[in-house]
């Protein structure tokens, strides 16, 4: 019996000018697509023009489109950069701009920063749990000092390929298992 491929969104967690998350996201997507086990797509929160939560009635077109996009996905890979020991305000706002669309899905985290983005990833894990998103254990961490040339050009070390594939294995397996809860 043939089964449909899962749909996994690679969420870019920054909207800042000069950000490098598109480079990291494209790299993860390239690795993911070589696997052939799911449909992977870049989801850029900057494309949705989300208002700050609580400053409007939440009826804007961008909020509706954001929720529709999340509803269409079975799992996520968050590209997370560390700012002030945490995630970006834009990512927190995007997480808060949806509720049920996140529930009973799996997520992996690829983080970067001066300490590999580990502190941002730990903050994100607490938020994901509250949204009923099961985050997977394997977590590639990228260093601003060794994986980025001049802080702007992404040049990942080869060792990260193993970590990304291990994370994707877990995201795929957990996304498939959790999909049964949503059917």
Reduce the DSSP state of residue 122 to 3 states and report it. Answer: helix
Alpha-carbon Rg for the chain, nearest whole angstrom, is 16
For the whole model, what pTM was predicted? Answer: 0.96
- Which residues of the chain have a pLDDT value below 70? 1-2
pLDDT tens digit sequence for 119-171: 999 999 999 999 999 999 999 999 999 999 988 899 999 999 999 999 999 99
Reduce the DSSP state of residue 18 to 3 states and report it. Answer: coil
How many Cβ atoms from other residues are within 10 Å of residue 16's Cβ?
13
Exposure string of 18-27, with b = 16+ CB inside 10 Å and e = fewer, is: ebbbebbbeb
**Length of the chain, please?**
183
């Amino acid at each position: 019996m043939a089964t449909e491929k899962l749909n996994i969104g690679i969420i870019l967690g920054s909207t800042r000018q000069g950000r490098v998350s598109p480079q990291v996201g494209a790299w993860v997507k390239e690795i993911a697509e070589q696997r052939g086990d799911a449909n992977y797509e870049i989801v850029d929160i900057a494309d949705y023009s989300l208002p700050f939560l609580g400053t409007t009635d939440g009826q804007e077109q961008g909020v509706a489109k954001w929720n529709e996009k999340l509803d269409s996905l079975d799992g996520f890979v968050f590209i997370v950069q560390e700012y002030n020991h945490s995630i970006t305000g834009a990512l927190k706002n995007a997480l808060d701009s949806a509720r049920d669309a996140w529930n009973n899905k799996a997520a992996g985290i690829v983080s970067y920063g001066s300490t590999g983005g580990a502190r941002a990833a730990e903050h994100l894990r607490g938020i994901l749990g509250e949204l009923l998103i099961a985050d997977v254990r394997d977590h590639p961490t990228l260093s601003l000092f060794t994986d980025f040339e001049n802080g702007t050009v992404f040049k990942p070390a080869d060792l990260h390929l193993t970590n990304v594939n291990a994370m994707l294995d877990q995201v795929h397996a957990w996304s498939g298992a959790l999909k049964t809860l949503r059917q």
